[in-house]
Structure 1
Amino acid sequence: MGTINLAEKLARFTTHWDPHVVADYNDNDVMVVKFQGEFPFHKHDTTDDFFLVLEGEMVMEFEDRPNQTLRAGEMIVVPQGVVHRPRAEQEVSVLLIEPKGEPNSGDADREPAPKPRI
C-alpha cells in the first residue's frame, strides 16, 4: 500500500494505445494510457469500460448514440455490449479500470496491448 503519482507513471512512457498497470483494485487493473488518433470501434461483451481523463480532451464515439466529449477531470463508463471508439485530436492521458485479463481491444480486429506493470 502506498501513494501512486500518476504524472510520474505517465512520464515513464511515450507510446500511444499502450495501457500500463499502476495498481490492482479487487480483480481489476488500474491503468494509465496515452492516446492520440482513433481506436477501432469495438465492444466488450462481459464488462463495462471505465475512462477518466487526466489531461487533455477526448471524444468517445458510439455506433448508435451521440458522441461524448470528455475533458480533464471527467469520466465515462461505457456499458458492456455498447460499440464504442475513443478518439483524441491531441495527445490525452487517461486512467482506465478493467478486469484483469480483459483485452483492451474488445472484439476489434486489433492485437490487444500487453499491459505492462510500472
Structure 2
Amino acid sequence: MKAINIKEKFSKFHKNWHPHQIAVVDDMQVILAKLKGEFVWHSHDNEDELFQVIKGTLHMQFRASTGETGSEGGIRTEIVNEGEFIVVPKGVEHNPCTKNDEEVHVLLFEKLCTAHTGNVKHERTQTEYPKI
C-alpha cells in the first residue's frame, strides 16, 4: 500500500486517448487518460463509467432523446469542469471530446471488463491498458 501521485503518473505518458491503469479496486480499475479533440460515439451495455476531470474542461456528448430541451442537432452536451466528475450510465451512447485544441486530463473508474469503445471497433480502440 502506497500513496499514488496522480500528477506524477500523468507525466509518464503523452499519447492522447490511450488509457493507463494506475490501480485496481476489487473488480474495478482506476485509469488515467489524456484527451484531445473528439473521440468515438459508443456505449457500454453492462457497465457504468465515471469520468473525473483533473485538468481542463471535458465536453461529454450524449444522443438527445426525442423532445429533450437543451440539445442541438440531436446531441446534448454536458460540460464537466476541472474538479468535477460525471457518471455515464450503462447503455447510454456518449462521446467525450475537448474544444479549442485543449488537452484534458481525466481519471476514470470502471469495471475491469469494460471495453474501451464498447461494441464499436475504431482506430482509437485500445484493448490493453499499460499499468503505470
The TM-score range, normalised by the shorter chain, is over 0.9
Deviations 1:32-83 (A, max 9, x none): 1001011111000001111000001110000125210111100000100000
**How many angstroms apart in 1 are the aligned matches of 2:28 and 2:127?**
16
TM-score (norm 1): 0.95
Corresponding position of 2:108: 96
Q: How does 1:61-100 map to 2 (within 5 A)?
A: 61-64=61-64, 66-89=76-99, 90-100=102-112
**Larger-gyration structure (1/2):** 2
- Whether 2:118 is the aligned partner of 1:106: answer yes
**Structure 1 moving runs of 4+ over 6 Å:** none
Which structure carries more strand by proportion?
A: 1
Letter in 1 for 2:87: V
Residues 113 and 92 of structure 1: is their aligned pair in 2 closer, same or farther, counting only changes over 3 Å?
A: farther
Partner-residue secondary structure (3-state), 2:98: strand
Q: Which runs of 5+ in 1 are unaligned?
A: none
Q: Structure 2 unaligned segments of length 5 or more: list them.
A: 66-75
Aligned-partner Cα distance in 2 for 1:107–1:67:
22
CA contact (8 A) 2:20 2:130 kept: yes
Q: Contact (CA 8 Å) 1:18, 1:114: kept in 2 or not? A: no
Determine what percentage of the aligned residue pairs are the same residue: 37
Instruction: Give the TM-score of the pair, scaled to structure 2.
Output: 0.85
Matched with 1:116 is 130
Compared with structure 1, are the counterparts of its residues 49 and 24 closer, same or farther at alpha carbon in structure 2 (3 Å cutoff)?
same
Say whether 1:43 aligns with 2:43.
Answer: yes
RMSD: 1.1
